[in-house]
Chain A
Amino acid sequence: DAGVIQSPRHEVTEMGQEVTLRCKPISGHNSLFWYRQTMMRGLELLIYFNNNVPIDDSGMPEDRFSAKMPNASFSTLKIQPSEPRDSAVYFCASSLGGSRGAEAFFGQGTRLTVV
């Protein structure tokens, strides 16, 4: 398996623009996570899906952020409108679930810069 695939790897956008980050989880995994990493706040969970259903979105910063998982093999994280403080590395991760698959497998991340 190719692992968790995220695109794009880098995104530079202007303040106010819409940004869409994409993630393809590992085939067969039923849990998907979006994390954000910054120097100031470290790794923060934004949202967590189980079987394509959002379970916990308490980490989503505000209404500008939205996430979808239309099927088991694809998820998006959208920021509209983007702001400079959204600049960070965004990671997608997936896991099998249960005690067998408790660990999360991470993608390479998308480095977002909002200018």
Chain B
Amino acid sequence: AQSVTQLDSQVPVFEEAPVELRCNYSSSVSVYLFWYVQYPNQGLQLLLKYLSGSTLVKGINGFEAEFNKSQTSFHLRKPSVHISDTAEYFCAVTRSGSARQLTFGSGTQLTVLP
């Protein structure tokens, strides 16, 4: 089975500052990794995914994440945040290969302050 730990439940940051949201996973098999964003009263939207290949993955809205197999991490970064990035962010993992259910972390609430 896989598991995900999001180390920070809340991250406040000022507008135009950089941000990193941390995610660590645990698995005995190879995995696919994802970051989703959830705005208030909405469903989850995919930000980016790592399936294979380059360990630096670029997603929508200027976000990127780096897969580090040795540290079992998949941290999300953005060099300059906007007020509109305020949302909850979820890291998720699934076993690679055929489709299986995603296991989600507990989420990180990113609040961008003016």
Contact = CB atoms under 8 A, between A and B. Distances in A.
A20 to B, nearest CB: 19
Contacts of A42: 104-107
B102 interface: yes
Interface residues of A, number: 27
- Summarize B's interface: helix, strand, loop or mixed: loop
Given A42-B107, A43-B90, A98 B101 contact: no
Given A42-B107, A43-B90, A104 B98 contact: no
Given A42-B106, A42-B107, A91-B44, A102 B101 contact: no
Interface residues of B, number: 26
12 contacts: A43-B107, A45-B101, A50-B99, A91-B44, A93-B44, A96-B99, A98-B98, A102-B94, A103-B46, A103-B49, A106-B36, A109-B43
Contacts of A25: none
A102 B32 contact: yes
A84 interface: no
Top 8 A-B residue pairs of the complex, sorted by shortest distance between their CB atoms: A97-B99, A106-B43, A43-B104, A106-B44, A31-B99, A48-B101, A102-B32, A108-B43
Given A4-B43, A43-B104, A93-B44, 7 more contacts: A42-B104, A96-B99, A97-B98, A98-B97, A98-B99, A99-B52, A109-B42
